[in-house]
Amino acid sequence: MAGTGRAPLRDDPNVLVTVTDLEVEFPVGKGAVVHAVSGISFDVAEGETLGIVGESGCGKSTVAKSIIRLNSIKSGSVDYQGHDLAQLEGEALRKIRPDLQMIFQDPISSLNPRRKIRDVISEGLAVWGDEQGSWSQDRIEELMLAVGIDPKFGDRRPHQFSGGQCQRIGIARALALDPKVMICDEPVSALDVSVQAQVLNLLEDMKQRYGLTLLFISHDLSVVKNVSDRIIVMYLGKACEIGNADELYENPRHPYTRALLASIPEPAPTVDPSDGDIEGELPSPINPPAGCRFNTRCRHATDICYREEPVMQQVGDQDHYFACHHPVEVAVGL
């Protein structure tokens, strides 16, 4: 199997979504394809928050969108409660989608500017109804209250709200169908820092209140750590490292994870500043490097990194996995 391997998959009855060997490619003309996601395997347990972190172009949004089939999947499977989402089509797919909802990065452009927010929030209900096939305005008011928008503003349109409020409305819309899984694609990147904390706390509250499982995508390592139970670090369509959030940041093993942690403006204390010295640019996902995809920029790279793709391996018996031939050794037992 191309490199990443299935080691991080857990044998646990609480696992809600299992993604196995997911591959996504996009044709870009003249027979060329962008290898957006190339064989990634992970799972998400019920009630867990899985963070996906990486730089632009690493495939983190593509992974998330594949789960709700917003883009086509080349191969691999996405198991959700006994259904393989990668294979579902037509009515079967439509029926399962209310369980999987998404909130987007730009809160303002993801709301229809010409509609009242009451209608924006209730659209899913108007299509699906609740369990009894009906719904009432009370439900909308309850949702608006839950996300901290005064229901008396239900007849206003998105432009009358600030970015933070629009994101709250987007969250209310996603909650309307009582989803099991909520996918958050950079939900706070467009917000000011003072508002960012409000939205992050709100997501945490909604997760508790509605029993959600979250997939949280962000390029901000501090934000991802704050919200996640488990984190995947992605690079050029591959997973580099997967593990428990605290453990991963405490003992980062993959050189790329360390590079990220050393590059943030206030570097993590667990890495060396020189870990951030990575050269060059992200290679093209049309012709990704053979072997380890990070080999063009990695200062630890040797022959084997150009020949063989590293396979995911576990750190002791920890919930911590990495795919690297030359993992950075960290003192054990600290």
Partner 1 sequence: MAEPQLTVRDLTVRFPTTRGVVQALNGVNIELEKGQMLGIVGESGSGKSVTAKTLMNLLPRSAEVEGEVIFEGNDVRKLAAEGREHFWGVEMTMVFQDPMTSLNPVKKCGEQIAETLRYHLGRSKKEALEEAVDLLGQVGLPDPAKRVDQYPHELSGGLRQRVVIAMALACQPSLLIADEPTTAVDVTVQRNLLNLLDRLREERGMSMILITHDLGVARGRCDDVAVMYAGRIVERSDTETLFSDSRHPYTDALLRSIPRIEQPSHTRLEPIPGRPPELINPPEQCAYAPRCRFAQADCLEAIPESQGVKGMHEFACFHPANTDRGREALAANVAAGETAAGLPITGYAGGAA
Positions touching partner 1 (CB under 8 A) are 55-56, 162, 164, 192-198, 200-201, 204, 219, 221-223, 225-229, 245-246, 249, 259-266, 268-269, 276, 278, 280-282
- In the bound state with partner 1, the residue whose beta carbon lies nearer, of 24 and 223, is 223
Determine the Cα angle at 38 with ends 296 and 308, to 5°: 50
Here the tokens at position 115 are: 């509609």
- In the bound state with partner 1, the residue whose beta carbon lies nearer, of 20 and 257, is 257
Cβ(119)–Cβ(125) under 8 Å? Answer: no
- In the bound state with partner 1, the residue whose beta carbon lies nearer, of 119 and 229, is 229
Q: Give the pairing of strands 230-235 and 238-244.
A: antiparallel
Alpha-carbon span 260 to 67, nearest angstrom: 26
Alpha-carbon span 300 to 320, nearest angstrom: 21
- Residue 8 makes CB contacts below 8 A (sequence gap 6+) with 41, 42, 43, 239, 242, 312, 321
- In the bound state with partner 1, the residue whose beta carbon lies nearer, of 123 and 204, is 204
Alpha-carbon span 57 to 284, nearest angstrom: 9
Alpha-carbon span 325 to 308, nearest angstrom: 9
Nearest approach, Cβ of residue 111 and partner 1 (Å):
18
- In the bound state with partner 1, the residue whose beta carbon lies nearer, of 105 and 196, is 196
Question: Which parts of the chain fold into alpha helices (H)?
Answer: 60-67, 90-96, 117-128, 137-146, 163-175, 193-210, 221-227, 245-250, 255-263, 303-307
Here the tokens at position 209 are: 């209140």
Nearest approach, Cβ of residue 74 and partner 1 (Å):
26
- In the bound state with partner 1, the residue whose beta carbon lies nearer, of 35 and 297, is 297
Nearest approach, Cβ of residue 69 and partner 1 (Å):
28
- In the bound state with partner 1, the residue whose beta carbon lies nearer, of 212 and 221, is 221
Alpha-carbon span 188 to 195, nearest angstrom: 8
Q: Which helix (H) or strand (E) holds 264?
A: none
- In the bound state with partner 1, the residue whose beta carbon lies nearer, of 125 and 202, is 202
DSSP three-state, residue 36: strand
Alpha-carbon span 227 to 324, nearest angstrom: 26
| Single-letter residue type at 84 | D
- In the bound state with partner 1, the residue whose beta carbon lies nearer, of 84 and 205, is 205
A 10 A CB-CB count for 177 gives 20
Nearest approach, Cβ of residue 27 and partner 1 (Å):
21
Nearest approach, Cβ of residue 158 and partner 1 (Å):
16
